Structure 1
């Protein structure tokens, strides 16, 4: 019998939670997800000439060697799309599109074209231009409680299908964060302060991943840098391309098993 996403999700997250250290706060059952309240304080400084502004690098999946695991993450560079607090799953992907099946290529494209199509009218910019299948925005910046609402996995899938690479928010709803990890569609990164109040839609930004697992958001338009919290044990799962890919790599399910 094929392993279900729900059962594998529960098994893997229990395993990660029981074996992780301080970074396991990223698996907290609290209604609003916060990565690690003890992380280094947020800071910003003027952009220097040594700061990287490299273009998007092809995503490198986690690879192993004789000396152990190594994980290489993508540097994301492009335009940002800025949102505020309590962006729920109906705003990310309206419920009427919940019947679309992400594993079907045509349905996945449709999900991408409808991404963030449920935003209220106060957001004058469209994440995906009507008639287009992809967004010109690579990074989404949000406020508090991003992804609240239903448990539909369509929310992170549609953002990934539209071409978004990462969300940088003040905090996340637990289910949305878990679905980001489970699907491997998008990196959910957490900021120390309300970056959404300091950035504007259309700003040019870069998200760089550091060797210690933390990340850095550089806003080239405002010339400010923002430290982001580490993903902890959830990072390697996203690196692998989602929970099934990670489970196969870890030997939790047979390599030949279908998702």
Structure 2
């Protein structure tokens, strides 16, 4: 087994072990008023929600939804803070994002290759190395040197026209690929920002999450929750949150898949 393959398998094994540790870890956080408690895994998955019965009476009912959001965000922040150093130690920091340029990525590669070939062969504009012309003799000579084989010599314009057509096809293919990537990225971005609203039980209120499943708000009907206990309401809210998060993830994936199919 080669060294790169061993390194890859070792990293996969370490990633699996870390994933298992994060799934087994438990974190707990409370709202500022101490009336709502949230429990999550090291991966941020919400496992339990507890609401003190005192939160269902008096002035507490007015801000119970805010307290729920506060507790859920706090426990996920704690889980993320604990997991981030372990993830960085395993995978390292993410590379900086690529800057956008006018030309397609694959098209830029072809143009850059043309320029490098010209420089290595000692040719330039005088030898016909313009973007609109077919590959001049220096390009063909350079390719023969790189491949180590002798190519048949083509005379006349037929061979040159064939090479020009090939490079034009490659350039247009590169533009098409970049267009597909842009469409998928736009769909993913739209999916991230589009909110999703999920009912809580039967008329108890609603839960709103963002496109990534992050909890945005919990809006409770104060009259409807009057008949609930803290434990029963917490159960309904927890189910609504997890359902909304799953639905948001599924919707975003469907939007990306649809965009990928439409650009084919």
* TM-score normalised by L of structure 2: 0.22
Higher helix proportion: 2
Higher strand proportion: 1
Of structures 1 and 2, the one scoring higher in RCO (CA 8 A, sep 6+) is 1
* TM-score normalised by L of structure 1: 0.22
